[in-house]
Homo-oligomer: A and B are copies of this chain.
Amino acid sequence: MSDSQLAFTPEHDHSGCIEHALMDARSLCEERNLRFTPIRELVLKTIWQSHKPLGAYELLPALAEAGFNSAPPTVYRALDFLQEQGLVHRISLLNAFIGCPHPSTSHEGSFLICRHCNNAVEVEAPSISNEVNKQAERFGFIPEQQSIEVLGTCPECQRGNA
């Protein structure tokens, strides 16, 4: 099973997801000579606690527990950094943030978001992404950033396992 499908399969070894994401982030920051500070790490780790996108304010308690300042700017700064580095994505339909499973490859993610269990998976669909860009260019428009988000019902919830 591809990693993209894992999120809709509750019995997957999720601790693996978390560790993998943190390792990726660490090495990526090292490569780019960026500081993977405790706050940034904690925010990323908290986001990765599940495959459900989290709002910025849902991340604050984790910061508070760990003894950090837990005012909004702290978490938004960390989120800005993580987004710039492609480590998390913002789901604009939900005003929420989710970890990126393959941050090193630059990409435009598209997302399948279950309206029932709130899990979201990032789907790699270069062909769609390219088609969208081509369509834009047909209008003389230069595409710079794209957002593809699909709301619906995931396989688990279709089986009644919300």
Picked from B127, B128, B136, B153, the residue with its CB within 8 Å of the CB of A112 is B136
Q: How many copies does the complex hold?
A: 2
> Is the interface on chain A under 10, 10 to 19, 20 to 34, or 35 or more residues?
35 or more
Closest B residue to A131 by CB, please name it: B128
- Known pairs A131-B131, A132-B110, A132-B128; A152 contacts B148 (CB<8 A): no
At the interface, yes or no: A104 with Cβ under 8 Å from chain B?
Answer: no
Residues of B within 8 A of A136 (CB): 112, 123, 150, 152
Residues of B within 8 A of A146 (CB): 148-151
- Least Cβ distance of A132 to chain B in Å? 6
Instruction: Report whether B152 and A141 are in contact in the complex, using a CB–CB cutoff of 8 Å.
Output: yes
Q: Which residue of B lies closest to A92 (CB)?
A: B92
A143 to chain B: which residues have CB within 8 Å? 112, 150-152
- Contact between chains at A112 and B139 (CB < 8 Å): yes
Interface on A for B, CB 8 Å cutoff?
4-5, 8, 92-93, 110, 112, 114-115, 121, 123, 125, 127-128, 131-133, 135-136, 139-155, 158
12 contacts between A and B (CB under 8 A): A112-B139, A121-B139, A125-B131, A125-B132, A128-B132, A136-B152, A141-B150, A143-B151, A144-B152, A144-B153, A145-B151, A147-B147
Interchain residue pairs A-B with the least CB separation, the first 4: A140-B155, A144-B152, A92-B92, A145-B151
